[in-house]
Amino acid sequence: MRTPFRHTAVLACALWAGLGALPAAAQELTISAAASLGNAMRDIGTAYQATRPGVKLNFNFAASGALLAQLQQGAPVDVFASADLDTMDRAQAAKLTHPETRVNFAANELVLVSPLARPPAARTLADLAGTGVGRIAVGTPASVPAGRYAQAALEAQGLWSAVSPKLVFADNVRQALNYVSRAEVDAGLVYRTDALIDKAQVRIDAVVPTVQPVLYPIAVVAASTNAAAAAEFVRFAAGPPGQAVLARHGFRAP
Amino acid sequence: MLDWTGIDLTALWLTLKVAAWATLIALVLGVACGHALARARWPGRRWLAAALTLPMVLPPTVLGYYLIVLLGRNGPLGGWLLSHWGITLMFTWQGAVVAATAVAFPFVFISARAAFEGVDARLEQAARVLGAGEFKVFVQVSLPLAVRGIAAGTTLAFARGMGEFGATLMIAGNIPGKTQTLSLAVHDAVQSGNDALANALVVLISVVCMLALVASSHLLNAKPLSTATP
């Protein structure tokens, strides 16, 4: 071999061997959780890792529907937590979870919010149909539970046909919140816990009664390669330590 | 397997409309900038060229964020548009056009600049010597000789505009019937687990793009241009 090429080959082989010799990571768990659980889940993770130093937690936050789609395509996830019972039911029906590990571990409220930068355009859900309100941010009902709760609440009050032309569909509830924070919309329907995150720019105008209670189920994923550790995490999140963290973030007990 | 009934054709017309407008604007601006920078020798030309090429290189979500910051209600451009003209670009198809133009422009710019640089400068000089003004030189000498390269760049720009997703999602707001382009519709279908609809949409987009590419290659193969040597 020519000298420069040989040097490169030796270097490449050394790198390859070196990388292969890296110690395999201690136990790793991947947790797919609804976007609204983002902040609370990270804190639960920190608390969990304090009790279990050998476990590394990876978090994957997105709209529950998107997470389900990932699971259906075989994403290597160990724990799944969704923002409504319907998405978890669909996961269970598709045999993607271990049903015996499923438990409701948090509850939330849907609230009507508006940007602090402007006076509130709507004080009640019914006001949304009025002329003072331009655009309203909600999650995309097809894939975001917050959007479905919002749609059900509007339909229950007969406001859907008047309000739906004004809706801007966000990819997940945090994006809807972001539109409100930026004052790009006049109002939004998000969870109370989301609104609390951005108190500096978002104001809660009203609590919206939902047709079904906002409940968060959590379960171990069937394809998990670490089912025992995953089940332990689920118990931690649903038990007193996890509940304490959730309460700090504004979640209710299930 | 394929759910054709679920397809909202307004998404198709909207996608074509947005891509067409974006390509048109990108074409005009790209040719102008390409020509200005083709024979440029002034300092800073490389930085300007890089800045103009940036939207092509940036991740679309980064571009989308820039555009929101710029065009949102509180942004410098968006605020000005709102207070002086009462125009909002967020959550409108015009906003989607802005996003698509931003990503399509570099394709036309790069191809146009290369095409203009490839035009034999002696031909332009000959035209000047014979009394043609700069505008006439551009329209009757430079442009016809550069049209091949520009057309290739424009085809790419159109395809890129059709496929624009990340920035469009953030600016246009994914409102079905108003700002939901085909790529956003596929995203929605996949997110909600509707694979049959997603499959049908993907086939539709692929067919439309293939037709566009074949049509443009037809147009380009019309008659070979030759730069005749005197």
Compare all CA atoms of chain A with the CA of B191 and give the residue at the minimum distance: A66
- A4: pLDDT strictly greater than 70: no
A202 and A117, same domain (yes or no)? yes
Overall domain count for chain B:
1
- Mean of the per-residue pLDDT values for chain B? 88
Domain assignment present for residue B83? The answer is yes
A95 and A125, same domain (yes or no)? no
A122 and A191, same domain (yes or no)? yes
Instruction: Tell me if B37 sits within 8 A of B45, measured CB to CB.
Output: yes
Pick from B72, B169, B191: CB nearest A182: B72
Compare all CA atoms of chain A with the CA of B176 and give the residue at the minimum distance: A169
The pLDDT assigned to A18 comes to 62
Domain assignment present for residue A8? The answer is no
- A8: pLDDT strictly greater than 80: no
Question: Where on the phi/psi map is residue A248: left (φ > 0), alpha (ψ -120 to 50), or beta?
Answer: alpha
**And the tokens for A117?**
């930068």
How many angstroms separate the CA atoms of A128 and A156, rounded? Answer: 14
- B227: pLDDT strictly greater than 60: no
Domain assignment present for residue B225? The answer is no
A119 and A96, same domain (yes or no)? no
Domain assignment present for residue A152? The answer is yes
As to burial, measured by CB atoms within 10 angstroms (0-12 exposed, 13-18 middle, 19+ buried), residue B215 is exposed
Chain B hits for A180, CB-CB cut-off 8 Å, are none
The pLDDT assigned to B73 comes to 84
Domain assignment present for residue A127? The answer is yes
A115 and A62, same domain (yes or no)? no
CATH code of the domain covering residue B102: 1.10.3720.10
Instruction: Tell me if A193 sits within 8 A of A40, measured CB to CB.
Output: yes
* Cα R_g (chain B), whole angstroms: 20
Compare all CA atoms of chain B with the CA of A68 and give the residue at the minimum distance: B193
Residues B126-170: pLDDT tens digits?
999 998 888 988 998 899 999 988 988 898 899 889 888 888 888
Domain assignment present for residue B227? The answer is no
Instruction: For residue B88, give its domain range.
Output: 9-220
Residues A41-81: pLDDT tens digits?
999 999 999 999 889 999 999 999 999 999 998 899 999 99
Domain assignment present for residue A10? The answer is no
Confidence of residue A187 (pLDDT cuts 50, 70, 90): very high
- The model carries a pTM of 0.81
A146 and A185, same domain (yes or no)? yes
Chain A hits for B90, CB-CB cut-off 8 Å, are 184
A201 and A219, same domain (yes or no)? no
Select from A182, A62, A198 the least CA-distant residue to B65: A182
| Helical segments of chain A, H only | 3-20, 38-51, 64-72, 85-93, 145-156, 160-163, 173-181, 192-197, 227-238, 240-248
What is the complex's ipTM, to 2 decimals? Answer: 0.75
Domain assignment present for residue B178? The answer is yes
Domain assignment present for residue A11? The answer is no
**And the tokens for A41?**
């889940």
Write the CB contacts of A92 (distance below 8 Å, at least 6 apart in sequence): A99, A102, A219
How many angstroms separate the CA atoms of A131 and A129, rounded? Answer: 7
For residue A212, the SS3 value is: coil
Residues B36-55: pLDDT tens digits?
999 888 888 999 999 999 99
Determine the average pLDDT of the residues in B59-76: 89
Instruction: For residue A87, give its domain range.
Output: 28-107+215-248
